[in-house]
Structure 1
Amino acid sequence: MVQLLGEYDCKLDAKGRLMVPSGLKKQLPNVDQEGLVINRGFEKHLVIYPKKVWEAKIEELSTLNQYEEKHRNFIRLFTRGATELLMDATGRINLPKSLMEAVGITNNSELVLACQLDKIEVWNKSAYESLFDEDPKSFALLAEEVMGEKNKKGANGN
């Protein structure tokens, strides 16, 4: 299983190319052969998946009942704009213009690459930083709600 770690500040060049930071590239040892897939995230950001992770997501989507409208809509929205990325010899990837426009990223933008388990979120730096404007106490309450309930269910055997 892929487990990515870290946050990386980056900047797109004038042609919309992103230099993959060396620390992140080391965590993706076969990226040159296997490739990456980029797609829209659930919020106003993009998501880069290692190709094997993307294939597992597609496999999961294929189990949905395509005769149900909400399932078709979810598949359509989730896969909308998905694009394979190839890294060039210098370690750069081209972000698709349509996806960049959809989330407010422009050429020369400052970005944050935020690793989230098995994927990399691509955020406009100011949008990413604004996510964390909440009071740290809110995080403690969220942790209690999300992880506390998980532990209660596990303890009860549910």
Structure 2
Amino acid sequence: MTQPLSALPNLLLGTYTPRLDDKGRLILPAKFRTQLATGLVMTRGQEHCLYLLPLDEFQRMYDKISRASINSKQARDYMRVLMSGASQEVPDKQGRISIPPLLRKYADLERDLAVIGAGTRVEVWDLAAWEEYLANTEGAYSDTDGEVLPEISF
């Protein structure tokens, strides 16, 4: 039996469009603050966004990645890129976090942002990049079938 969403308090959902302030800080959307209040790890995401992961989720992710063979170049490369850009942050009382210059440059973040809940993580995108990504990907979303996601059916 499927749990109702109310029984999944750590699920991060929704899209928000805040702005970076002049000091490179992001005010986290109120809906995400509880899950991220005790701290988070910010790192490079795929498609040039940033991932904000609650500490326990980052630990789970790291544990899985660290089991990969050190003999695998792809695993080493992934670990290096992920970890070299990682920054542990704790939001201030206003829910703000600083985005390090390295990560702002990686994700091309200047002012207008899209902050999206992606289940177990938050993604931070340049707003124009997010809108372009979404426009280019919505068709593929509609075309996704049971072979790609066999457990999903509507």
When the two structures are superposed, what TM-score results if normalisation uses the length of structure 2? 0.83
Gaps of 5+ in 2: 1-7
Which of residues 111, 114, 130 is equivalent to 1:112?
A: 114
Deviation for aligned residue 1:124: 0.5
1:84-99 equivalences under 5 Å are 84-99=88-103
Deviation for aligned residue 1:25: 1.6
Which SS does the other structure have where 1:10 is aligned?
A: coil
Gaps of 5+ in 1: 153-158
Query: What's the C-alpha RMSD, in Å, of the aligned pairs?
Result: 2.1
**What are the superposed Cα offsets for residues 68-117 of structure 1, whole Å, 9 maximum, x if unpaired?**
333222211222210001111221110111110112112xx111111111
Corresponding position of 2:15: 7
Which SS does the other structure have where 1:43 is aligned?
A: helix
Distance 2:100 2:13 in 1: 24
* Paired residue total: 144
Q: Quick one: structure 1 residues 56 and 116, their matched pair in 2 at CA, closer, same or farther if it must change by over 3 Å?
A: same
Larger Rg: 1
Letter aligned with residue 41 of structure 1: G
Letter aligned with residue 89 of structure 1: K
Deviation for aligned residue 1:57: 0.9
Letter aligned with residue 142 of structure 2: A
When the two structures are superposed, what TM-score results if normalisation uses the length of structure 1? 0.81
Distance 1:48 1:58 in 2: 14
Greater Cα offset, 64-73 or 38-47? 64-73
Which of residues 58, 65, 72 is equivalent to 1:61?
A: 65
Q: Is residue 44 from structure 1 mapped to residue 60 from structure 2 by the alignment?
A: no
Distance 1:85 1:135 in 2: 31
Distance 2:106 2:151 in 1: 38
Greater Cα offset, 66-75 or 117-126? 66-75
Distance 1:85 1:67 in 2: 32
